[in-house]
Amino acid sequence: MQQTDYSTALAQHDSDIADIRRSAHALHDSVGQRYGGIHPYGHHLDMVADGVRHYGAEVCADAADVVPIMFGAYYHDSIEDARQTYNDVLATARRWMDDRQARMAAEIVYALTNDKGRTRAERAGEHYYAGIRATPYAPMVKLADRLANVTFSCRTDDEANVRMRRVYASEMPHFLAAIDAGGGDMRMALPAAMMAALQDIAATAAKPMYDRDATTPFAMALPKFIITLDGHLRLGMVNQHKELLRYGDKCIGGGYYAFHRSTNSLVLDRASYDFGPPRWHLLETLLVPRAYRGMRIIYAYDDPQKPCLPVSDVLFLEYY
């Protein structure tokens, strides 16, 4: 599918995808699951979904598959970690999809659910990988899952991340071969750009933090934003939030963004790993790029029980 068509399909279903995201976050919150010991598990789900959103056009065969793919990304750990059954996932998917789409979404989740086993090798053995290779879009979602985990493991040199970097590096050749279905069905394919991003990160993952230079790739280029102490909202497709800084800027938080064209809204959410969540209380005026004049701006908190902040209502907006 052309990137423009894929992006259009994502925009057309942005409300449903946002609901799916909130539902998946709430599910993992309900079982007390954390990521990396400190983050809500939604942090990981968002990284996986961002990879699918960013690279998925290369393998998506039909616009009708976009919502099932995004559901698969957000719910990929729901059976394994959140006490869901296949039928639970199928019933949830039917809230946003017809029966064909819901089954496609549930099959992705089922394929990514580890087998029972005493060791990592037993839980992700040949039977597990055969299921991924046999399921449309499961190879891509699994690749996005691994990309998210490897990226996260590169962010700090604590003992757990150092250990997992070594595990991922040792598994890399077998892992890529195990999820490669081959054949001519594009739904089973692995996006070349996503594979390249994973291999770039894995190539430097064994290096300690002090031995990495400024060109070392730690993350995917994704739609990110920051706010500065003087009130500037800066947005762009970048690897790290700090790339949005200009000379003299003092960042007071950031996160990610998406356009909800159905409501003419710029939706900001989550938090910057380096700068934390946006500290809106420090601002009275927000300086917004003039390209977004007329759009409603909201910030969605990670806590699904906390109402969104209507930024464009509570702050005075100026445009630059």
- The crossing angle, in degrees rounded to 10, of helices 159-178 and 192-205 is 140
Same domain, 30 and 164: yes
Which of the listed residues 164, 183, 211 is the one where a domain comes to its end? 211
Query: Which has the closest alpha carbon to 260: 3, 21, 89?
Result: 21
Same domain, 205 and 250: no
Whether 305 is covered by a domain: the verdict is yes
The pLDDT score that the predictor gives to residue 106 is: 98
pLDDT at 260 over 80: no
pLDDT at 30 over 70: yes
Which of the listed residues 211, 234, 254 is the one where a domain comes to its end? 211
Give the torsion sign (CA, 293, 219, 19, 139).
Answer: positive
Q: Return all residues near 16 (Cβ < 8 A) that are at least 6 apart.
A: 67, 96
Same domain, 165 and 98: yes
Same domain, 199 and 229: no
Band of the pLDDT at 153, cuts 50, 70, 90?
Answer: confident
Q: Return all residues near 89 (Cβ < 8 A) that are at least 6 apart.
A: 75, 78, 79, 105, 106, 109, 110
User: How many domains in the chain?
Assistant: 2
Which of the listed residues 157, 181, 211 is the one where a domain comes to its end? 211
How far apart, in Å, are the Cα atoms of 177 and each of 130, 136, 156, 180, 319?
11, 17, 28, 5, 50
User: Higher-confidence residue: 124 or 262?
Assistant: 124
For residue 230, the domain's CATH number is 3.50.20
The pLDDT score that the predictor gives to residue 209 is: 47
- HSE, CB side, 13 Å, CA atoms: give it for residue 319: 9
User: Higher-confidence residue: 139 or 47?
Assistant: 139
Expressed as residue numbers, the domain containing 309 is 222-319
Q: Let me know if 284 is exposed, middle or buried by CB neighbors in 10 A (0-12, 13-18, 19+).
A: exposed
- The crossing angle, in degrees rounded to 10, of helices 126-133 and 138-153 is 120
- The mean pLDDT value for 308-319 works out to 94
pLDDT tens for 75-131 read 999 999 999 999 999 999 999 999 999 999 999 999 999 988 899 889 989 999 999
User: Higher-confidence residue: 24 or 7?
Assistant: 24
Same domain, 165 and 195: yes
Task: Output the average pLDDT for the chain.
Answer: 88
Using DSSP, state whether 193 is helix, strand or coil. helix
Same domain, 253 and 105: no
